[in-house]
Amino acid sequence: MKLYVVVWIGLILIVGLEVFLTYERLPAGTLLACLLALALIEAALGVMYFMHLKYERPALFWSLIPYLLFALVMMDHFWPDALRLMRQRMPGP
């Protein structure tokens, strides 16, 4: 249980860091990158320790995680269109 408590404390500290960074008034893109990186670290900790994927056979990891990452990468096609619309915004009066 000690390991799990350490992971739990680590996750709470990461959430605290996320809130701290939010109020540091970073540029939106930088803040988004930081928050996503921290969320991915949290997800990795949760999956590997709380969900025990670290202790399963490697075949399970290689059958599940690359598929999910592939599915998420395939969803990235529409970002250029979103960025195009963002750049088309009219300047304010």
Partner 1 sequence: MGHSVIGAPLEASPYGIQSKKLAMWLFIVADAATFGAILFAYGYLRLANPDWSRPFAFSPTILNGCVMTVVLLTSSLTIVAAVSAAQAGRTSTSVRWLGATMLLGIVFAALHLREWFAMIGVGWRLFQNPMGGSPLFGATFFGITGLHLLHVMCGVIVIGAITLGFRRGRFDAGHVETTALYWHFVDLVWMFVFPLVYLMNVR
**Residues near partner 1 (CB under 8 A):** 1, 4-5, 8, 11-12, 15, 18-19, 22-23, 28, 31-32, 35-36, 38-39, 42-43, 46-47, 50-51, 56-57, 59-60, 63-64, 67-68, 71-72, 75-76, 78-79, 81-83, 85-86, 89-90
Please report where in the chains the tokens 């928050």 appear, as a residue.
35
CA dist., res. 25 & res. 45, Å (int): 27
* Percentage helix, strand, coil for the chain under 3-state DSSP, each rounded to 5: 85, 0, 15
Report, in Å, the least distance between residue 79 CB and partner 1: 8
Report, in Å, the least distance between residue 2 CB and partner 1: 11
Report, in Å, the least distance between residue 15 CB and partner 1: 5
To 5 degrees, how large is the angle CA 52–CA 75–CA 73? 55
- Quote the distance between the C-alpha of residue 13 and its chain's center: 15
Report, in Å, the least distance between residue 59 CB and partner 1: 6
